[in-house]
Amino acid sequence: MADISTAGRLKGAVASIFIDGEAGTTGLGIRERLAGRSDLDLRSIDPSRRKDPEARREMLAGVDLAILCLPDEAARETVALADELGPDAPRILDASTAHRTASGWTYGFAELVPGHLDAIAASTRVANPGCYSTGAIALLRPLVDAGLVPADHPLSVNAVSGYSGGGRAMIEAFEAGRGPAFELYGLGFAHKHLPEIVAHAGLTSRPILIPSVGDFRQGMLVSIPLHLDRMPGRPRPADLENALRQHYSGGGQVRVVAASAADRLEPEALNGTDVMELRVYGRGDDALLVARLDNLGKGASGAAVQNAAIMLGLREEARREAA
């Protein structure tokens, strides 16, 4: 990665971070990953002043980076507060859906395209990706860029996640034993991750995204079936895998793993890590692209920590994440 200097940018001897919404699942995951670091100063608002706009404004003015783990509207309100600060505004990393396709914001998937890590480093406004989006974009963007998957090709994205990604009500239901073993949802064909998948996978046609949730806390599988004989050039599964390997050869948190027809993939294998694995299965004219990740790791908190390290120029951490 580029040698990113923090000289003249930081407001103190070490980088200061405010996690707005630190009590939520993503915020807790970020704080746990960052706690105890000597090169970071994690700050919190007094709980009694949590909803006080002036307290929030003071906090924003005094830190180098604000990480927003908030509902979309609350995230927009915090960004508006920061914008009022002018040159005293912190850099912002937004983990909500609010700014993932917004003008002036950098999409926080460091491995997206060559040089994108440097774009994150130079940005003052970064949008952390969604969990399903991370898997789908990781699989599709290299293949679209390589001309193997047409941008307007009809695609279906199937995904299963642990219940921790479904919000407080879903988490409480499953942890109380009231959740089903498995269920499909998002059957209105308008899942909130669709716009960012289209935008950042380089698509011109909207895919069908069918998410599901299982009775396990965390972990995720995202799969995309392809009829290779319906695609221009009729690529082979090996062509798809080679394109993915070439794209991710520069390091990062994405690994391309050799696939076997004997595999039995379960979604929890990467829990507790910030790594994502990609596989290509194929036979004849049929192929299946699969991404496996921890929806709370590379799909949320882990990606946020990676982006925070890049934005703040924390060289040791950023080098580790890019290795």
As given in the structure block, the two tokens for residue 232 are 């221009």
Q: Do 15-129+300-322 and 131-295 share a fold?
A: no
Each residue's pLDDT tens digit, 24-45: 999 999 999 999 888 999 999 9
Each residue's pLDDT tens digit, 224-249: 999 999 999 999 999 999 999 999 99
Query: Does residue 75 or residue 3 have the better pLDDT?
Result: 75
Predicted local distance difference test score (pLDDT) of residue 11: 83
Distance CA 111, CA 306 (A): 11
User: Is 6's pLDDT higher than 70?
Assistant: no
With cut-offs at 50, 70 and 90, classify the pLDDT of residue 9: low
The pTM of the whole model exceeds 0.95? no
Domain ranges of the chain: 15-129+300-322, 131-295
With cut-offs at 50, 70 and 90, classify the pLDDT of residue 322: very low
**Residues catalogued as catalytic:** 131
With cut-offs at 50, 70 and 90, classify the pLDDT of residue 4: very low
Buried b (16+ CB within 10 A) or exposed e, 153-166: bebebbbbbbbbbb
CB atoms closer than 10 angstroms to residue 319: 13
User: Is 209's pLDDT higher than 60?
Assistant: yes
With cut-offs at 50, 70 and 90, classify the pLDDT of residue 323: very low
User: Which residues make Cβ contacts (< 8 Å) with residue 59, sequence separation at least 6?
Assistant: 18, 43, 45, 66
CATH class of 131-295: alpha beta
Distance CA 34, CA 30 (A): 6
Predicted local distance difference test score (pLDDT) of residue 165: 87
User: Is 269's pLDDT higher than 90?
Assistant: yes
Which CATH number applies to 15-129+300-322: 3.40.50.170, 3.40.50.720, 3.40.50.300, 3.30.70.3400? Answer: 3.40.50.720
Predicted local distance difference test score (pLDDT) of residue 149: 97
Distance CA 319, CA 2 (A): 10
Average pLDDT, the chain: 92
Predicted local distance difference test score (pLDDT) of residue 1: 30
